[in-house]
Amino acid sequence: MDVSPVAWILTIVVLLALVAVDLFLNRKPHEVTLKEASLWGIFWVGLAVVFGIGLWVFSGSAPAGEFFAGFITEKSLSVDNLFVFVLIMGKFAVPPQYQQRVLLVGVLLALVLRGIFIAAGAAVVAAFSWVFFIFGAFLIWTAWKLIKEAKSDEEEEFEENALLRKVEKVLPTTDGYRDMKLVVKENGKRLVTPMLIVMIAVGTTDVLFALDSIPAIFGLTKEPYIVFTANAFALMGLRQLYFLIGGLLKKLVYLSYGLSVILGFIGVKLIFEALHGQGVHVPEIGIPLSLGVIVATLTVTTVLSLRKTKKDERAAAEAAERADKDASV
């Protein structure tokens, strides 16, 4: 797939323009309603579908298939990332009307960071084909780690990284939020607000998110343009997705298992491709199969999660009803 510099520039300009429109329309801090989140969510997903169809028309079915497989994978990984965003918002007690601005800044930081990672990853992949062995092994290890975490009964908590702890220790901070201000001057002293700390928490967490998402999508396509656009479209709707399925996140109890299957599958695919590049005869996993495995895994994961949650809720309601009857006797 040959993408001209003009197409790259035009794509980036259009994405930045969409971000600017989003920022302008949501310039006033407010609590996002379910209707607002739904409309914006449909808009971003619809835009991704239109872009994928455009790829199909102008570049063929193969690039379009790679884009949709990458987009769905990145979107599913971003849903798991929302758990961490929920923990960050809770830990720093971010007021509801400010949360969308925090997430918007987080998305912009993620776009920049992933753009850098994608450029570096594409250069490494082009120069060293054996790097797929490392990518594949890392994804399989990540899949195993997700399974172990899913089996743990411990309540997940947000753990501050070293940079965040350093900032909180060194910089004097106000005792509360000051609207959307990051730095204020009070009593002759310059202080940072909790909003800046939250921004740093979201931004540094984005770096960790990219460590599994970038190798995962390189396992589906080697085209930097498709890698970038799939990541961009997956991230652009992340803010609305946070408000849209915030309550649903707790119901997706098997999500980590589903993501582990997807990451493990892509890890094996990468290792097969690396072996194939070394002249070893191994099965070739095409995009149609990859897309089918990803969609089927997410569908089964969602259905089983919702059934499990519904069953647990019914059992809890019956237990509460029996307790009430026993108490009344």
Q: What's residue 80's pLDDT?
A: 64
Structure tokens at 306: 């919702």
Q: What's residue 158's pLDDT?
A: 57
Q: What's residue 51's pLDDT?
A: 93
5 Cβ partners below 8 Å, 6+ apart?
none
User: Residue 305 in contact with residue 252, Cβ under 8 Å?
Assistant: yes
Q: What's residue 329's pLDDT?
A: 60
Please name the residue that has the structure tokens 């996002």: 32
SS3 assignment, position 52: helix
Question: 272: part of which helix (H) or strand (E)?
Answer: helix 255-277
Distance (Å, rounded) from C-alpha 77 to C-alpha 216?
10
Residues lower than pLDDT 70 in the chain? 1, 26-27, 29, 79-81, 83, 125-129, 150-164, 167-168, 206-212, 244-250, 276-278, 328-329
User: Residue 118 in contact with residue 281, Cβ under 8 Å?
Assistant: no
Q: What is the pLDDT of residues 206-236, one digit of tens each?
A: 666 666 677 777 878 888 889 889 888 887 7
User: Residue 208 in contact with residue 76, Cβ under 8 Å?
Assistant: no
108 Cβ partners below 8 Å, 6+ apart?
19
What backbone phi and psi angles, to 5 degrees, belong to 135? -60, -45
User: Residue 146 in contact with residue 263, Cβ under 8 Å?
Assistant: yes
Q: What's residue 53's pLDDT?
A: 93
Structure tokens at 49: 């579908």
Distance (Å, rounded) from C-alpha 100 to C-alpha 26?
8
What predicted TM-score, i.e. pTM, was given to this entire model?
0.70
Share of the chain above pLDDT 90, in %: 4
